[in-house]
Chains A and B, each alone.
Chain A
Amino acid sequence: MSTPSTIERTDRATLADMVVVDADVHVNDTPGALAPYCEEPWRLSLEALDGASYPYLQVPGFAPNMRLDPPIPGQHANRSVSTAAEMRAELSELQIDVGILFPDHMLLFAAIPNPEYATALAQAYNRWLLEEWLTREPGLYGVVLACPQNPDFAAREIERYANEERVVGVYLPTAGVNPLWGDRRYDPIMAAAEAANLPVCLHSVTLVSPAFPCQLDQFENHFARQVLSHAFAMMANLTSIVHTGVPARFPELRIVFTEAGIAWVPYMMWRMDKYYNEYRRLVPFLEKRPSDYITERMWFATQPIEEPDDLKDLVVTIDLLGGPERILFASDWPHHDFDHPRAIMKLPMPAAAKRRIMGENALELFGIPAPAGKL
């Protein structure tokens, strides 16, 4: 595995001066790791999968996905993090104080068709996350997986974990979720998250699936599928959440969008506002413009941050979607397209704005106490 060995000294001082909260890092949730936490008979299924040499993020019956491209020499290696101690060490090397943990394979959770199995898997993942990751090292926080295949169970899971100090949000599996988040069948999940004062965090992944908008099979290579997958997932789910009035029906609910960058947001704000003008009578539960809900109660994680030739364009983009208060730094460590904190630190922005993006926003949003010696 490759760890970050080259960090320029010039930014150490600056990053060392502020709290760095990473809103999106990933733990390696293998079948074998989850098996001891899973109820029978599904534990037997995970034990049967354990040890099989399946590719990363593509395990039939666990992380179902179609890997359509042949391997080509010269590509960068896959990275994964298997223990809390490893994660703590690697985040510290990246100068990250606090990490919000998301899964690896369970990124594909919504694509699992069997609701009983999905329920057992969600329960096992949440138990494993708390036991193996959230009690062992400082600065590691988690989001409880909400099983879309069984919303009532998911709501009970949220209630079960709501008072755990290190559980600071609800993970909404977004790749292949069908129907999309926002559908009224998920209302128990939104209600439980709102009642527990836990933000819901949408996270997608590249998935080829018949579920809208993941029908990416016509694209002949991963370049195209990667470009479209996360962005389309977030645009579709944001629209779905707005079109059923989730922000109006759950007026305290806070919503986080991860791993799609940020430049898609102003476009969707303007587009939804335009058609809200025209079709307000179809969505009368919305008491204000869609963009108003976005700038009040939605947050956007930076990774994979756009990299325009002129970095000022990115600063303008942040202002267009409501300013630095809306933005959460995220690295996506250890995944292939992770962003080093420098990718944000090098933006031509005032230090106060960087402090908000790099950590202060996330501490407030997730209710995390500032790490000792910081702030």
Chain B
Amino acid sequence: MTDHVVGPVEDFPPGTHRLVQLGRIEVGIFNVAGVFHALPNICPHQFGPLCAGTVNGTTACSAETNWTFAWVRQGEIVTCPWHGIEFDIATGQSLSSPRLRVRTYPVRVVDGQVTVTI
């Protein structure tokens, strides 16, 4: 477990995400409404560059929405650019298959520096 300082917090404003190279590992750093998350940039499906995808919300339709379409979780979902598979940025879990999940790396802000632990 090693701490990697990836840059000052001002470089990662809320609602943005960036790729950083940490040794041999490419990591996506996400600032979701002020909360930082980090995911490996490899989709478990066919190894596409997951974190190079767009961050957005997604659709929901359930008893909670009275079975009508709703737009939910804006800013919390990253979509792999290769095959469009959606992942929950906070947990690394895909929305479509229990078998498609990426790990998450701990991220915190230390003395104004975004720090990822790998």
Among the stretches B3-11, B31-39, B43-51, the one at the interface with A is B43-51
Q: Which of A2, A74, A337, A340 has the most CB of B within 10 A?
A: A74
Q: Which residue of A lies closest to B24 (CB)?
A: A9
* B-facing residues in A49-75 (Cβ within 8 Å): 72-75
Contacts of A73 in B (CB 8 A): 54, 56-57
The answer on a CB contact under 8 Å between B83 and A76 is yes
Partner of B83, one of A5, A8, A309, A336: A336
With the chains together, A362 CA to B52 CA distance in Å? 33
The verdict on B94 contacting chain A, using a C-beta distance below 8 Å, is no
With the chains together, A184 CA to B42 CA distance in Å? 50
The answer on a CB contact under 8 Å between B49 and A2 is yes
The answer on a CB contact under 8 Å between B56 and A6 is no
Expressed in whole angstroms, the minimum distance between the Cβ of A31 and any Cβ of chain B is 27
Contacts of A6 in B (CB 8 A): 26, 41-42, 47-49
Contacts of A336 in B (CB 8 A): 83-84
With the chains together, A249 CA to B46 CA distance in Å? 42
With the chains together, A338 CA to B81 CA distance in Å? 11
Q: How many residues of B contact A (CB 8 A)?
A: 23
- Known A-B contacts A2-B81, A6-B41; the reply to A74 vs B86 at CB < 8 A is yes
The verdict on A7 contacting chain B, using a C-beta distance below 8 Å, is yes
The verdict on A282 contacting chain B, using a C-beta distance below 8 Å, is no
Chain B 85-97 near chain A by CB (<8 Å), digits 1 or 0: 0100000000000
With the chains together, A12 CA to B62 CA distance in Å? 44
Partner of B81, one of A72, A77, A343: A77
The answer on a CB contact under 8 Å between A74 and B99 is no
Expressed in whole angstroms, the minimum distance between the Cβ of B89 and any Cβ of chain A is 12
Contacts of B52 in A (CB 8 A): 2, 5
The answer on a CB contact under 8 Å between A74 and B81 is no
Contacts of A343 in B (CB 8 A): 46
The verdict on A369 contacting chain B, using a C-beta distance below 8 Å, is no
Chain B 46-71 near chain A by CB (<8 Å), digits 1 or 0: 11110011101111000000000000
- Known A-B contacts A2-B52, A5-B52, A74-B77; the reply to A342 vs B82 at CB < 8 A is no
The verdict on A252 contacting chain B, using a C-beta distance below 8 Å, is no
The answer on a CB contact under 8 Å between A74 and B49 is no
Contacts of A77 in B (CB 8 A): 81
- Known A-B contacts A7-B47, A340-B46, A340-B47; the reply to A74 vs B56 at CB < 8 A is yes
The verdict on A373 contacting chain B, using a C-beta distance below 8 Å, is no
The answer on a CB contact under 8 Å between B46 and A76 is no
With the chains together, A73 CA to B49 CA distance in Å? 19
With the chains together, A6 CA to B53 CA distance in Å? 13
Expressed in whole angstroms, the minimum distance between the Cβ of A336 and any Cβ of chain B is 7
- Known A-B contacts A74-B58, A309-B99; the reply to A342 vs B47 at CB < 8 A is yes
Q: Which residue of A lies closest to B86 (CB)?
A: A74
The verdict on B79 contacting chain A, using a C-beta distance below 8 Å, is yes
The answer on a CB contact under 8 Å between B26 and A76 is no
Can you pick out 30 interface pairs between chain A and chain B where the beta carbons lie within 8 Å of each other? A2-B81, A4-B48, A4-B49, A4-B82, A5-B49, A5-B52, A6-B26, A6-B41, A6-B47, A6-B48, A8-B42, A72-B59, A73-B54, A73-B56, A74-B54, A74-B56, A74-B57, A74-B79, A75-B79, A75-B84, A76-B79, A76-B80, A76-B81, A309-B99, A336-B84, A337-B83, A338-B82, A338-B83, A340-B46, A343-B46
Contacts A74-B79, A338-B82 known; list 15 others, CB within 8 Å: A6-B26, A6-B48, A73-B56, A74-B54, A74-B56, A74-B58, A74-B77, A76-B80, A76-B81, A76-B82, A337-B83, A338-B83, A340-B47, A340-B48, A343-B46
Q: Which residues of A contact B (CB under 8 A)?
A: 2, 4-8, 72-77, 309, 336-340, 342-343
Q: Which residues of B contact A (CB under 8 A)?
A: 26, 41-42, 46-49, 52-54, 56-59, 77, 79-84, 86, 99
